[in-house]
Amino acid sequence: MKFGNASWGFRETPLDKQLEITSGMGLPLLELGIANAPNDLPLDITDSEIEKVKELFEEYKISLECGATGNDFTNGNKDDVAKIRKVIDSCKKLGVKYLRIFAGFSPVNEVTGKRWDIMIGCLKETGEYAKAKGIIPVVETHGGVIGYADGVQHFHSTSTEPTALLKMLSELPDLMINYDPANLYAVGIQRPETVYEKIKDRVCCVHLKDFVKLPSGHLKPAACGESNMDWKPILNALKGFDGPVLLEYENTEDVADGCSQCYEYIKKELNK
């Protein structure tokens, strides 16, 4: 495993501070957010700005290997394809190898017929464009999310419901996956490692985080190990994985401490 920090928890943190935190943890990777959150690189980033970003990563000796953006291909239109093309163009200039994207966030039972075909078409078009640029788009196992005052509720999307996910992979033989066990646990899959075993030949990136259940039944992002999710079989399944494993502590107010807590927990569990 090649450990690093994921971008989402750093969405309110300037890039130089993200790099400082990651370097201070002794990690070689930082997932770079692009056109998805307030402190991400903008969609219309200039070549001179790209060079400054590359210099920053070099200064901190952090690999610029992973990027992340946001999109939704399940809402019945193709609007996000043009955006993702622009992000891929930036990734090519930055030297990014893996770009985390999404299939989308609509409830899985709503993505049928034409909407399913549009999603597949968007993913195929994105994959073909990315391949020509030498970029690998990776779809995260991420459900839909409803926000509440005290937390969130996750529900199955096409990338978390196992039957839909396997169907997607069968229709898109080149599609790769960003495996996130906590997102699968959040939608009700009690043993996320069983999903990994079915798709592991298509997994090239991993996100590790956790969610705790509140008295209301809603979920709150947490550090790895804070929920009732059984990490032992998940980490056992991942022991043979040699790609990027990114710590995705999602609470912005204490993201540095949260990422460190995640890293220490994972290292301890792997050494048991």
The residues spanned by each domain of the chain are: 2-270
Distance, CA of 146 to CA of 143 (rounded, Å)? 10
- In the prediction, which pLDDT does 272 show? 80
- In the prediction, which pLDDT does 38 show? 87
Confidence of residue 100 (pLDDT cuts 50, 70, 90): very high
- In this prediction, residues 119-142 reach a mean pLDDT of 98
Q: How far is CA 254 from CA 5, 13, 259, in A?
A: 14, 11, 9
Helices (H), the chain: 15-24, 47-59, 79-94, 113-133, 162-171, 181-186, 192-199, 231-238, 255-270
Give percent of the chain above pLDDT 90. 97
Residue 66 has pLDDT above 90, yes or no: yes
The CATH number that domain 2-270 falls under is 3.20.20.150
- Per the prediction, the chain carries an average pLDDT of 97
Q: Could you read off the pLDDT of 239-258 as tens digits, one per residue?
A: 989 999 999 999 999 999 99
Distance, CA of 244 to CA of 238 (rounded, Å)? 11
Distance, CA of 41 to CA of 62 (rounded, Å)? 17
